[in-house]
Amino acid sequence: MTRGPLRIVVVHPDLLGTYGDGGNGLVLLRRATWRGYDATLVQAPSHEPLPPGDLYCLGGGEDGPQVRSATELIEDGRLVRAVEDGAVVFGVCAGFQLLGTTFPDARDQPRAGLGLLDLVTRKGPGPRAVGELTALIGADGPPSADGAPWPKLTGFENHGGVSTLGPGSRPLARVETGVGNGDGSGIEGAWSGRVVGTYLHGPVLARNPALADLLLSWAVGESLDPLDDHDEEALRAERLAAARSAS
């Protein structure tokens, strides 16, 4: 049985393409097609109007390209309208920061983000946060796709930004090991409606299939069949153990 169609859009891979975050789009595509959905993965370059989509992914990137991506997305206007129409958005690192209201450019001047999350990012005073991170999604996090308790989040963070949530958004998770948003709140990432952001690379959806399935279930509007995730489970067990022994 074919279900769908489902359009997954990787936003500006030419600008927000570092750190393997493009993998998140691929993970979503495969987890949809393996379940019989008629899913397509679209790479949306920055010089073209943003194509229609059900689920948008934004990856990490350097300071200059991040500013350019945000500028294009604000001028284009389609991403904000898509969210108003129910689209799902998932942002990582630079892509997370630009979903907020302001983020710093290379000269540490504040730049306008898309305002899809109530989040302010500034340059941190200390060294970059680099390393394995684990975090727990709790009662103020999004509900899991299958209603079961959330498994731990695992990923690799690498950022110099410090992000602070406003009242309009909620924490994605609470940091167990690592830095996360870095403003002293112990929070990692943010979510609001169907918009989710995190600092985690890995790519994070390959390391956390439950998070991938939450985004997919929002996008398709129904619960999902289980998949055989033994490769992912083995990786998760190893990474969680590595983070424990390092901390």
Partner 1 sequence: MPSIGDPGRSGASPVVTPIPMRTRVAALAVHGVNVLSRVSGRGSGTVAGGRVGLALDPAIIRNLTAGKTVALVSGTNGKTTTSRLLVAALGGGHDHSVAWNDTGANMPAGHVAALVHRPRARIAVLEVDESYLDHLLEVTRPEVVILLNLSRDQLDRVAEVRLLAERWRKAFEGQDGDGPVVVANADDPMVVWAAGPARRIWWVGAGQVWREDAVGCPACGGRIAFSADGWACDHCPFARPVCHGEVLDRELVLSDGSRHALTLGLPGAFNRSNAALVAVATEALYPGRSFDDALSAMAAVTNVAGRFAVVVRHGHPVRKLLAKNPAGWTAIFDLLDEVGQPDEPVVLSINARAADGTDPSWLWDVPFERLQGRSVVAAGDRCLDLAVRLRYAEVDHQVARDPLEALDLAMATAPPGGALTFLGNYTAFSDLGSRL
Nearer to partner 1, 116 or 129 (CB): 129
Neighbour-count burial for 15-53, b at 16+ CB within 10 Å, e otherwise: bbbbbbbbbbbbbbbebbbebebebbbbebebeeebeeb
Backbone angles phi, psi at 3, to 5 degrees: -120, 160
> Which residues are registered as beta bridge partners of 198?
92
Q: What is the Cα–Cα distance from 161 to 99, expressed in whole angstroms?
A: 14
Q: Note whether 201 binds partner 1 by CB under 8 A.
A: yes
Stretch that binds partner 1, among 76-84, 177-185, 190-198, 228-236 (CB under 8 A): 228-236
Stretch that binds partner 1, among 2-10, 23-31, 50-58, 79-87 (CB under 8 A): 23-31
Q: Note whether 40 binds partner 1 by CB under 8 A.
A: no
Total of chain residues touching partner 1, rule CB under 8 A:
33
Nearer to partner 1, 26 or 136 (CB): 26
Stretch that binds partner 1, among 111-119, 180-188, 200-208, 218-226 (CB under 8 A): 200-208
Neighbour-count burial for 91-116, b at 16+ CB within 10 Å, e otherwise: bbbbbbbbbbbbbbeeeeeebebbeb
Is 34 strand, coil or helix? coil
Q: Note whether 203 binds partner 1 by CB under 8 A.
A: yes
Nearest to 188, CA basis, from 216, 218, 215, 164? 164
Q: How many residues does the chain have?
A: 247
Q: What is the Cα–Cα distance from 23 to 10, expressed in whole angstroms?
A: 10
**Encoded amino acid at 33, one letter:** T
Q: Note whether 130 binds partner 1 by CB under 8 A.
A: yes
Tell which one of 9, 10, 19, 57 touches partner 1 (CB under 8 A): 19
Q: How far is the CB of 62 from partner 1 (least distance, A)?
A: 5
Stretch that binds partner 1, among 3-11, 145-153, 218-226, 227-235 (CB under 8 A): 227-235
Tell which one of 6, 9, 11, 15 touches partner 1 (CB under 8 A): 15
Pattern 147-176, partner 1, x by CB under 8 A: ---------x-x------------------
Nearer to partner 1, 38 or 234 (CB): 234
Q: Note whether 27 binds partner 1 by CB under 8 A.
A: yes
Q: What is the Cα–Cα distance from 240 to 132, expressed in whole angstroms?
A: 9
Q: What is the Cα–Cα distance from 12 to 21, expressed in whole angstroms?
A: 12
Nearer to partner 1, 182 or 203 (CB): 203
Residues in touch with partner 1 (CB under 8 A): 13-15, 17-23, 26-27, 30, 46-47, 62, 64-65, 68, 130-131, 156, 158, 201-203, 206-207, 231-232, 234-235, 238
